[in-house]
Structure 1
Amino acid sequence: MNSELRAAIEMAFQQAEQALAAKEPWRAYPWLENAHILSQRLPVLHVCSHWLMLRAGWQQRDYREMLGQTTRIMAALLFSKLWVPIGNTGRAKISAFLSMPVPKDLQRLLQGKHQ
């Protein structure tokens, strides 16, 4: 993984952690969605994005999000290296099998790295 990609993932996780520490999970989700897209082919970081989404769901008492993230954590552990739906934001309200367009700012970071 190149240093620019690593820095972008780390910044997304830091911003999300700060939002969760402030009990503002709605601020964490955009950062976590970006971290998810960037880390889909990196099992440990992929799982971390789902873990933090689970924590955000917990803070909101969003049971759908919590259940969805629990199953996605297991899938991320098992399938990150085999197949992922590129561009998927990782939220429970989105099908875990749906590929989505990758935002342009993230495309540059991913270009040739995971696809």
Structure 2
Amino acid sequence: MYVKVLTVTGSKTLAITCKHVIAPIGEKVFAVLGSDRILYTPIDGDIGKEYAVRVVKGTAWNVTKVKPHKIKDSIAYTIPKNFAQTLGIHKGEKVLVIGKENVLEVIPVNTVIEKVGKFREPTL
């Protein structure tokens, strides 16, 4: 498992750069917009195949193809502009990146903080 807090970079396009590889370099992957995160998955993986069917059926409005590329010893995953706008992700913002096998999730830290909420005493 890969877990890190990273800073969104980019000038013309936004991206995150990490060491978690989900597909061979240069191979396109799906970026899927969720309600609070972006999921990156290989097109030929189990999750990717499910979304490929949705794309063919025309029901996958929240899926786009991106091409991760190598930068030094890391992989850069671009963040589609409309996904960034929907989730309020901007250059310099912190995101929580969680990688599991062939899936990578990018969650804005502000969303994580909101979901954690405030301290509450247990009700007995």
Q: TM range, normalised to the smaller chain?
A: under 0.3
Which has a greater percent of strand? 2
TM-score (norm 1): 0.27
Q: Which of 1 and 2 has greater Rg?
A: 2
TM-score (norm 2): 0.26
Which has a greater percent of helix? 1
The structure whose RCO (Cα within 8 Å, separation 6+) is larger is: 2
